Amino acid sequence: MITVLDADTNQDRHYSKHLMCPVTGLSYRDPSPHDFSFNSTQGACPHCNGLGVVNDIDIDKVIPDRTKSIANGGIAPLGKKKNTLIFIEIQSLLKVYDCDLDTPISEIPDEAINEILQGSTRDVRIPAELIHTTNDHFIKYNGIVKHLQQMADGELSASAEKWVEQFNRQVVCPECHGRRLNKIALHYFIDGKNIADLCEMDLVSLHRWINELLPKLSPNQQKIGEEIIKEVNSHLRFLLDVGLGYLSLSRGSATLSGGESQRIRLATQIGSGLVNVIYILDEPSIGLHQRDNMRLIHSLQSLRDTGNTVIVVEHDKDMMLHADNIVDVGPMAGRHGGQIVFSGPPLEMLKSSTLTAQYLNGQKEIPVPKTRRKGNGLTLTLSGATGNNLKNITLTLPLGKMICITGVSGSGKSSLITNTLLPILSKHFYRSLEDPLPYSAIEGLENIDKVISVDQSPIGRTPRSNPATYTGVFSDIRNLFVQLPEAAIRGYKPGRFSFNTPGGRCPTCKGNGYKVVEMNFLPSVTVPCETCHGKRYNRETLEVRFKGKSISDVLDMTVDQAVDFFEAVPNILRKIKTLQDVGLGYIRLGQSSTTLSGGESQRVKLATELSKRDTGRTLYILDEPTTGLHFEDIRILNQVLTRLVDKGNTVVVIEHNLDVIKIADHIIDMGPEGGDAGGQIVAEGTPEQVAKAKGSITAPFIKAELAAKKK
């Protein structure tokens, strides 16, 4: 450090080699990479621990209805008036404001409400008559919010934790404003931008900024940054090549789709420069717009050209036709498949007669409807949607139609439908706790009576759940077995035929049908139970038979077999037949939910909805239902969606697949690009109308698809 005295002005000037401000005395240590990481204690914001969000009490959930009085349950966590200390404290506090517990909350002054919720800065005087003592008492009142926060921070049972969570909400950290880093890290700038600014840019903008940075640096900075900038540029280029330009580096991994996560890993591998490696990819085109398909294919070809082998499990037509070799497995699904029906170059496959080849060469196709539905004339309108990258848009859904939401990846489709519209409807119909993204208003709720989201999440989290239990048909099957003469003589109840309750299940494996053998440092191994040999039930239960089959035999049947077996039992047949109708005839009734793919799980959910008696005023929401589906499966899916709409319901599908888009009655195309350049509705109408729209990236692909089908 050095101090210089200016002889002319008689002023001191302080200089330091360290990062110190001589005026304020504020000093920083020499920076290290950890200072710019929110996963490190050195760099993370101390208030939110690097998460960018904190839990806060939602006052609107604590006081949901201000027309009620406190005595009548106006404060949700307290419930109705009871003779407890908290109500006595609040009554004493309200007395100062000339109110009582029977006063409607809307008539209580805001200052009093704030004291009740946040606590009082003064001691509250409790009159002696309220607590049946000789003297008044003065106590400190901490407030309901603090009490809920203390409960949330403490160790609670699962039920108590769930109870507290209903009054919570996640809010952006007030300290770092969602940027996750501490103030020191955010005070380092390059060309006027700190590290959080760069992470919030979409990758296209970040790539442009990096490319323009070098000339703006001093000669010394250029020497330091040249190689680093080159490396960053290289990684960004790989991410752009696989169609992820709309993402930002700050995007949470939990919000990424399976296809996005896979393409990020793919970009990492392309950048590694390895050779003689076998890469295996499972449907990398998930969530990818047709425009970006070729970029992904070129990325895979570049991996191949550097001396690697790339194996892709895929249903995409372009990917198949650009492959060097195709292995087609079939001929059908489940027990009707499991054979290699073709292996060779794509051009040779086009000449074969496999089911896949028939769709590739045009022998089979999904036809375009001759007419589009007119709908029921009613609408559902969501206005002022501004969440994520949405640009204050108004969405109008014509009801009684099949509606497709299209647009390039990252254009705002999921933000609008899954994160804004669906939570609004779920809150209205089911009192869901999930908060929607910001919006202004919604009109037309009276035109629908429920909303159902059919996604690809598993139908159960444990191996015990299966299609029979999920659809509810297993309860009917158990009731059928109870009515059999053998079961009646033995006095069996429905629980006897459940593998989840003691009594009828195998006592050794407790109804699992297998035992898990721990292998210490190796993965655990499952082996069939030595007592029941995988049948799940004890000997006495298996002696009860319907048409010669035990309850275990029924669970082991495929859906196709079960349809024939239960043809004379209408209530069972109706539910199983819908599973067959959605193309799941090959799965077993008792097949573990953990072995079902996302597409299969989604179709089990669709079948469950189809088997219910509906009012014809339901709104169904599906997010990319074609994921993992073959051309033939998509044809069957289209038939299912058509059945739902023909009953008068409305189906909203977020989709990139042209075989689904072309059968829609109404298309809402978003864009024009992804990320900040998206978030607008660029075209809407029938597929024929959208195909003519200017400024829509999806329009030329719809136009080409419709033209191809006309030929």
pLDDT digits (tens, 9 = 90+) for 642-659: 989 998 999 999 999 999
Q: Which region among 7-16, 101-110, 264-273 has the lowest average model confidence (pLDDT)? A: 264-273
Mean pLDDT score, 486-499: 93
Banded pLDDT at 507 (limits 50, 70, 90): very high
711, pLDDT greater than 60: no
Residue closest to 464 by CA, chosen among 500, 497, 494? 500
Neighbouring CB atoms inside 10 A of 313's CB total 12
Mean pLDDT score, 322-348: 92
Residues in Cβ contact with 348 at an 8 Å cutoff, skipping those fewer than 6 apart:
none
483, pLDDT greater than 70: yes
Mean pLDDT score, 182-206: 92
566, pLDDT greater than 80: yes
Q: Does domain 55-171 have CATH number 3.40.50.1980?
A: no
Residue closest to 411 by CA, chosen among 681, 689, 203, 685? 681
Burial zone of 12 (CB within 10 Å; 0-12 exposed, 13-18 middle, 19+ buried): exposed
CATH 1.20.1580.10 location in the chain: 467-595
What is the pLDDT at residue 45?
Answer: 94
* Runs of H (alpha helix) within 172-315: 195-200, 203-211, 219-241, 258-272, 290-305
472, pLDDT greater than 80: yes
Specify the CATH number for 380-457+614-710; select among 3.40.50.300, 3.60.9.10, 3.40.50.620, 3.40.30.10: 3.40.50.300
For residues 22 and 158, the answer to whether their CB atoms sit within 8 Å is no
CATH T-level fold of 197-308: Rossmann fold (3.40.50)
Q: At 93, list the tokens.
A: 């506090």
CATH 3.40.50.300 location in the chain: 197-308, 380-457+614-710
Please write the tens of the pLDDT for every residue from 215-236.
999 999 999 999 999 999 988 9
What is the pLDDT at residue 154?
Answer: 62
CA angle, 471 as apex, 466 and 473 as ends, to 5°?
95
Mean pLDDT score, 281-305: 87
Mean pLDDT score, 376-399: 94
What is the pLDDT at residue 152?
Answer: 65
Burial zone of 43 (CB within 10 Å; 0-12 exposed, 13-18 middle, 19+ buried): buried
For residues 290 and 656, the answer to whether their CB atoms sit within 8 Å is yes
Residue closest to 589 by CA, chosen among 458, 475, 507? 475
Angstrom distance (rounded) from CA 51 to CA 41: 12
Angstrom distance (rounded) from CA 253 to CA 133: 59
709, pLDDT greater than 70: no
156, pLDDT greater than 70: no
Burial zone of 475 (CB within 10 Å; 0-12 exposed, 13-18 middle, 19+ buried): middle
189, pLDDT greater than 90: yes
* Runs of H (alpha helix) within 595-653: 598-611, 631-646
Helix (H) or strand (E) holding 14: strand 11-15
Peptide bond into 687 cis (omega under 30): no
Banded pLDDT at 620 (limits 50, 70, 90): very high
For residues 536 and 505, the answer to whether their CB atoms sit within 8 Å is yes
What is the pLDDT at residue 386?
Answer: 94
What is the pLDDT at residue 149?
Answer: 75
* Runs of H (alpha helix) within 545-621: 551-555, 559-565, 570-581, 598-611
What is the pLDDT at residue 197?
Answer: 94
Specify the CATH number for 467-595; select among 1.20.1530.20, 1.10.10.10, 1.10.3230.20, 1.20.1580.10: 1.20.1580.10
Angstrom distance (rounded) from CA 654 to CA 622: 6
Please write the tens of the pLDDT for every residue from 120-136.
877 878 877 777 777 77
Banded pLDDT at 549 (limits 50, 70, 90): very high
Pick the more confident residue, 521 or 213. 213
CATH 1.10.8.280 location in the chain: 55-171
What is the pLDDT at residue 333?
Answer: 82
Mean pLDDT score, 443-463: 88
Mean pLDDT score, 600-625: 86
pTM over 0.75: yes
For residues 407 and 393, the answer to whether their CB atoms sit within 8 Å is no
For residues 531 and 508, the answer to whether their CB atoms sit within 8 Å is yes
Please write the tens of the pLDDT for every residue from 20-40.
887 777 788 888 999 999 999
Q: At 206, list the tokens.
A: 């970040």
* DSSP reduced 3-state for 16: coil
153, pLDDT greater than 80: no
Banded pLDDT at 258 (limits 50, 70, 90): low
Mean pLDDT score, 277-306: 87
Buried b (16+ CB within 10 A) or exposed e, 280-290: ebebbbbbbbb
Residue closest to 182 by CA, chosen among 24, 339, 373, 52? 52
* Mean pLDDT taken over the chain: 88
Mean pLDDT score, 168-177: 88
Angstrom distance (rounded) from CA 393 to CA 416: 9
588, pLDDT greater than 80: yes
399, pLDDT greater than 60: yes
DSSP 375: -
689, pLDDT greater than 90: yes
Q: Which residues pair with 451 in a beta bridge?
A: 619
